Amino acid sequence: MDYSIRITGEAGQGIQTIGDTLAKLLARAGYYVFTQQDYESRIRGGHNSYRIRFSAGTITASQAKIRILVPLDREGIALHGKELAEEGILLYDSVSLKEKLTGSRSLDIPFADLAISHGGNKIMANTVAVGAVLGVLGMGLEGLNRIITDTFQKKGEEIISANIRAALAGHQYAKENCPHCASVPGMAEDGKGKMLISGSEAIGLGAIASGCRFYAAYPMTPSTGIMNYIASKAHEYGIVVEQAEDEIAAINMALGASFAGVRAMTGTSGGGFSLMVEGLSLAAMTETPVVIALGQRPGPATGFPTRTEQGELGFALHAGHGEFPRVIFAPGTPEQAFHLTRKAFDLAEKYQIPAIILTDQHLADTTWSYDSLDLTGIEINDYRLRGEQFQALPEYKRHAFTGSGISPFGVPGEARHLVVTDSDEHDEEGHIVEDAETRIRMVQKRLFRKLPPLRKEIAPPTLYGHKKPVVLLAGWGSTFGVIREVVDYYAPVMDIAMLHFSEIYPFPATGQFNYLKLLREAELAVCVENNATGQFARLMRTETGYSFTNMINKYDGRPFSVEGLVEEIRAILG
């Protein structure tokens, strides 16, 4: 059981609602689900698509072959028709599309007419379509009816029952007119509901679970989802969410809040991050913890606002004037995003440094299914000096030289001690200095003392697949899902594995897991990156001297597809 549904249409036609509803129903029914959207930088019109793949086993990427195609626009037929599987079916409304298809693989369903006749309003055509898809799948309508009831609660009984009728009409029509559809199983075997979560939501949830209390940002695709999620929980968790006037303000607000004693975060995309770079350097100089979610999209400049790329690893690593340490995580899945966001907050606070969570539009917007996220050990280490404990100190210097190299960080106002910091080079108290001796000690404290323990915190890369691979596919960040599926694809015929890096900087040591040995022993070690220049391969060379045998790069603004990557690897294998 491994099916893909694709809904296509113009922006504003509602494919997102159809897709979200179906995906939720499938996950609730116990399937593993993976969804991926392709959309343009416009609000209405154009051509968008929503892919839902579901399966009885774990899935981490889309697949090209479509089992059910629901085009709400004619372009959907032209562009995606050829991807319809042999056993696939195309559900469409010939009246709305003003096009009549022939052949056994298409089913003309009068979505609009059924909506009018059963629901009383054309607006319910999408509900009819959802009902029809469920009909084709042989699934019942209970789940859908529940969702309808929840969604339209505020709109009243009337609307709810109209929608329920519309759904039923689509369902029946499909069942009656699609005889060979009966073969589709109606339920995943275990019957246990799955959760469905996007990368953005996972970061948001991770931030909340880290005790984040302040989030300031300026809207920018694909990072806005994080802000929206955190905002939706602001009342419940006591989080101040502030829309800043620009990204410079956003990071400086976060630093102000952090200095004042609460955990603070901001999020943006490359263009906004460019504007935050001076603030990043300020965080470093004042040793003020901050977490930054950087959702990459294709650049330079505005680029492709709604598409994906891994083009800013080098930038994230070197951003900011002057020399200072930082943490960079690039989660490969929502699950990793959740846990690494927590780790980012912890390390930022522990070492008083900035931590960057590097994602991209692909990870941000795809949704993944899990039985659950592991919440064991969800607790917060408070590294700040507060109240009694702070007041009890005989003396206090914000930037004191200490045995551990980490200076005590008191919360201003909680004691009579003053908390002073400065973007200029400063002394232990935090006041401006000009002398060479203090400078040297401060650089050592901020940089050299912190890096070695910080590096020890970094987990090694993940190995998936064969333990002594002949072919090793390396990746970082959002390519996790697709590489994993490609490994599964080739596993039956070769000793293949994935080496995935999600904790990127400080670059993982080899003590715990000698991944360099693995790379060197593989016959083919291919670095797969969703960018043009191979930034991770370059970092690997810089940090370890190791050069990959091959590189696969994609820079058209689209994520890798399983099929595409399979082909690229086949080409390398020769």
Determine, following the binding rule CB under 6 A, whether residue 436 of this chain makes contact with ligand SF4: no
Residue from 417, 446, 466, 484 in contact with another protein (CB under 8 A): 417
Residues forming contacts to its own copies in the complex (CB under 8 A) are 40-41, 46, 248, 269-271, 273-275, 277-278, 280-282, 284-286, 296, 298-305, 307, 309, 311-312, 314-315, 317-324, 422-425, 434, 436-437, 439-440, 443, 447-448, 531-533, 535, 538, 541-542, 545, 547, 555-558
Picking from 424, 291, 299, the residue whose alpha carbon sits closest to that of residue 346 is 291
Give the separation between CA 295 and CA 309, rounded to whole angstroms.
Answer: 9
Q: How far is the CB of 212 from ligand SF4 (least distance, A)?
A: 30
Q: How far is the CB of 367 from ligand TPP (least distance, A)?
A: 23
Would you say 431 or 538 has its CB closer to another protein? Answer: 431
Q: How far is the CB of 565 from its own copies (least distance, A)?
A: 15
Query: Interaction with ligand SF4 in 296-355: which residues (CB under 6 A)?
Result: none
Picking from 570, 360, 367, 330, the residue whose alpha carbon sits closest to that of residue 471 is 570
Contacts of 526 (CB under 8 A, 6+ apart): 471, 472, 473, 474, 548, 549, 550, 551, 552, 569, 572
Residues forming contacts to ligand TPP in the complex (CB under 6 A) are 218-220, 247, 271-272, 275, 302
Whole-number CA gyration radius for the chain: 26
Backbone dihedral angles phi then psi of residue 121, each to the nearest 5 degrees: -155, 135
DSSP state of 331: -
Choices 78-86, 154-162, 204-212, 556-564 (CB under 8 A): range interacting with another protein? 204-212
DSSP state of 64: S
What three-state secondary structure class fits 19?
Answer: helix
CB 459 within 8 A of CB 504: no
Binding residues for another protein, rule CB under 8 A, total 93
Binding mask 44-83 for ligand SF4 (x = CB under 6 A): x---------------------------------------
| Cα distances (angstroms) measured from residue 377 to each of 209, 210, 291, 374 | 11, 11, 20, 9
Binding mask 99-138 for another protein (x = CB under 8 A): ----------------------------------------
Q: Of these partners, its own copies, ligand TPP, another protein, none, which one is at the site of residue 412 (CB under 5 to 8 Å by kind)?
A: another protein
CB 152 within 8 A of CB 145: no
Q: Of these partners, ligand SF4, its own copies, ligand TPP, none, which one is at the site of residue 218 (CB under 5 to 8 Å by kind)?
A: ligand TPP
Question: Position of tokens 């275990």?
Answer: 190
Give the separation between CA 395 and CA 505, rounded to whole angstroms.
Answer: 35
Would you say 55 or 421 has its CB closer to its own copies? Answer: 421
Residue closest to ligand SF4 (Cβ): 43
Determine, following the binding rule CB under 6 A, whether residue 43 of this chain makes contact with ligand SF4: yes
Would you say 43 or 493 has its CB closer to another protein? Answer: 43
Q: Of these partners, ligand TPP, its own copies, another protein, none, which one is at the site of residue 388 (CB under 5 to 8 Å by kind)?
A: none
Q: Of these partners, its own copies, ligand SF4, another protein, none, which one is at the site of residue 256 (CB under 5 to 8 Å by kind)?
A: another protein
Picking from 478, 508, 485, the residue whose alpha carbon sits closest to that of residue 562 is 485
Determine, following the binding rule CB under 6 A, whether residue 10 of this chain makes contact with ligand SF4: no
Ranges of beta strands (E only) in 185-289 are 195-198, 212-217, 240-243, 263-269
Question: Position of tokens 């392709």?
Answer: 38
Choices 60-68, 122-130, 428-436, 456-464 (CB under 8 A): range interacting with another protein? 428-436
Question: Position of tokens 């931030």?
Answer: 207
Q: How far is the CB of 376 from another protein (least distance, A)?
A: 11
Q: Where are the alpha helices (DSSP H) in 366-419?
A: 387-391
Determine, following the binding rule CB under 8 A, whether residue 45 of this chain makes contact with another protein: yes
Q: What angle do CA 188, 191, 196 make, to 5 degrees?
A: 80
Q: How far is the CB of 395 from another protein (least distance, A)?
A: 14
CB 261 within 8 A of CB 411: yes
CB 374 within 8 A of CB 347: no
Residues interacting with ligand SF4, by CB under 6 A? 43-44
